[in-house]
Amino acid sequence: MAFGTISYRNNALSQTEPLSIILPEADVGEGPFPVLYLLHGMGDDHTTWMRMTRIESYVRSLPLIVVMPITQWRSMYVDAINGPKAATAIAQDLVDFIDSRFNTRVDRRYRAICGLSMGGYGAFHLALSHPERFGAAVSHSGVLLYGHVNVDELPDDEHRERMKAIVERTVGPTPKGGAADLFAAAERLAVDQRPALRFDCGTEDFLIEHSRAFHRHLESIGYDHEYQEHPGAHTWDYWDQHVKESIDFFFRKLGWETSGS
């Protein structure tokens, strides 16, 4: 199968950005193909999924394009109040670029987004704030309380000062209820607009309570979703083990064919 890195002009950021891409084998069909956008975590880049997981082998026989973009280290994939428009950069400019250059199915049902940690939050944020673009999203070990807690409500732990700086720079000191709040975003969407959601977290992961809280919230508002906990921590071994389940979820939930047209 084909794998490569592309540089393209992103208008939302007014700069050239790199991305990594996996294209289907010729024997899976001629397309058009669905697209999976795979988001990295804090401190990583567009190459990390390929270097740290077996993602290429997991999609080798599938009629699927996998796009792995880059974002600024602590962008949280949001349109920052004092910084880059990281959400628009992916949901609008990147998606438009991919659809204009590759043989894709141009429909939300054939677009999915998945990420880990910061990218897990990003996947849900982009899907819930752009439901016309993405039909489904998966979060692995996501920072799902980001934006749902104001700065003065952050837990007094070892991550407090770092998260305080990130929140204030990207969405301001009182983001709760705003565009970055996944809890509010899920509640605002009409049932027929809701992207399919799946998320998981390791039981030894320091972010486990983020996933548990969001799971309880989705249950309380009647938002159909899939949630699982597994043994494991905030590690690449965990994410490599469970990203295959995410791919299976997209094909099952969105009705993608496992052989090309």
Q: Is the pLDDT of residue 261 over 60?
A: no
pLDDT of residue 88: 97
pLDDT tens digit sequence for 158-183: 778 888 888 888 999 999 999 999 99
Per-domain residue ranges of the chain: 2-254
Q: Is the pLDDT of residue 1 over 80?
A: no
pLDDT of residue 260: 60
The proportion of the chain whose per-residue pLDDT surpasses 90, expressed as a percent, equals 86
pLDDT of residue 9: 97
pLDDT tens digit sequence for 120-169: 999 999 999 999 999 999 999 999 999 998 988 887 777 788 888 888 88
pLDDT tens digit sequence for 16-52: 999 999 999 988 888 999 999 999 999 999 999 999 9
**How many Å apart are CA 95 and CA 98, to the nearest integer?**
5
Assigned CATH for 2-254? 3.40.50.1820
Q: Global pTM?
A: 0.96
pLDDT of residue 129: 98
What is the pLDDT averaged over residues 221-227?
98
pLDDT of residue 259: 76
pLDDT of residue 145: 92
Residue 6 C-alpha from the chain's centroid: 20
Binned at pLDDT 50, 70 and 90, residue 117 comes out as very high
pLDDT of residue 176: 95
The proportion of the chain whose per-residue pLDDT surpasses 70, expressed as a percent, equals 99
pLDDT tens digit sequence for 59-97: 999 999 999 999 987 899 999 998 899 999 999 999 999
Q: Which helix (H) or strand (E) holds 217?
A: helix 208-220
Q: Is the pLDDT of residue 220 over 80?
A: yes
pLDDT of residue 72: 86
Bridge partners for 35 per DSSP: 65, 111
Cβ atoms of residues 141 and 124 within 8 Å: no
pLDDT of residue 175: 93
pLDDT of residue 208: 96
Cα(first)–Cα(last) distance of the chain, in Å?
A: 17
pLDDT of residue 82: 81
pLDDT of residue 251: 97
> For residue 144, what are the contacts with CB-CB under 8 A and spacing of at least 6?
120, 121, 124, 182, 199, 207, 210, 211, 213, 214
